[in-house]
Chain A
Amino acid sequence: LAKTTQPISMDSYEGQEVNITCSHNNIATNDYITWYQQFPSQGPRFIIQGYKTKVTNEVASLFIPADRKSSTLSLPRVSLSDTAVYYCLVGTNSGYSTLTFGKGTMLLVSP
């Protein structure tokens, strides 16, 4: 499984755009990049998944460069409720896949 590296923590203010970058230098050809959000004392929640270029949904965008060795989760106009831990995971969607969580990024949004 490809290992991921993220910043331990980030600070932001309400209304700002937040970009969290994840490094995955050993990503395999069949691997997808998936981001999860976790609030205290809750299970993680799926945010977004991508394979290459750009993916956007109603809550976030995911930017993946051509070499796929990194990815950036972009949260537009964050609010206080976006304070959470964000995990970047890399794994294959073919066959059977377990999810291995790294340390994650603790995002703190202040007023």
Chain B
Amino acid sequence: GAVVSQHPSRVICKSGTSVKIECRSLDFQATTMFWYRQFPKKSLMLMATSNEGSKATYEQGVEKDKFLINHASLTLSTLTVTSAHPEDSSFYICSAPKSTGMTEAFFGQGTRLTVV
């Protein structure tokens, strides 16, 4: 079946550095992908909608210059956390809908980011 692969699964970085997280749809094309953030024991919070070939749409309160999203192909979206700080430490998850308009989505394995 369709799979969404996210990489890396864990990353530790120093404050002030940038970290790139990749989200790939392995056997289907995803014109749209979603990026979520999840704090411990909390629900997923939608950060942004990544659109292939165009600018991402960010949710209210999410800094677009802080969380750079690029969706350069139909199978790859990347999230770059720029100038990371300890408060950016979180679990980041991407997803792609099964097809446009479907509420059934495939999720990546998630990336645990720790900023020290």
A residues sitting closer than 8 Å to B (CB atoms) are 32, 34, 41-46, 49, 87, 89, 91-104
B residues sitting closer than 8 Å to A (CB atoms) are 4, 6, 32, 34, 36, 43-46, 49, 91, 93-95, 97, 100-110, 112
Report chain A residues within 8 Å CB of B45: 101
Contact A43-B107, Cβ < 8 Å, known A93-B101, A93-B102, A99-B95: yes
Distance, CA A95 to CA B102, complexed state (A): 8
- Evaluate contact between B43 and A102: CB separation under 8 angstroms: yes
Distance, CA A94 to CA B43, complexed state (A): 25
Distance, CA A99 to CA B36, complexed state (A): 10
Interface SS of chain A: loop
- Evaluate contact between A97 and B97: CB separation under 8 angstroms: yes
**Interchain nearest-CB distance for A48 vs B (Å):** 9
**Interchain nearest-CB distance for B41 vs A (Å):** 9
Q: Which residue of B91, B93, B103, B109 contacts A89 across the interface (Cβ within 8 Å)?
A: B103
Report chain B residues within 8 Å CB of A32: 103
Contact A100-B103, Cβ < 8 Å, known A43-B6, A43-B109: no
**Interchain nearest-CB distance for B62 vs A (Å):** 13
- Evaluate contact between A98 and B49: CB separation under 8 angstroms: yes
Report chain A residues within 8 Å CB of B103: 32, 34, 49, 89, 91-93, 97, 99
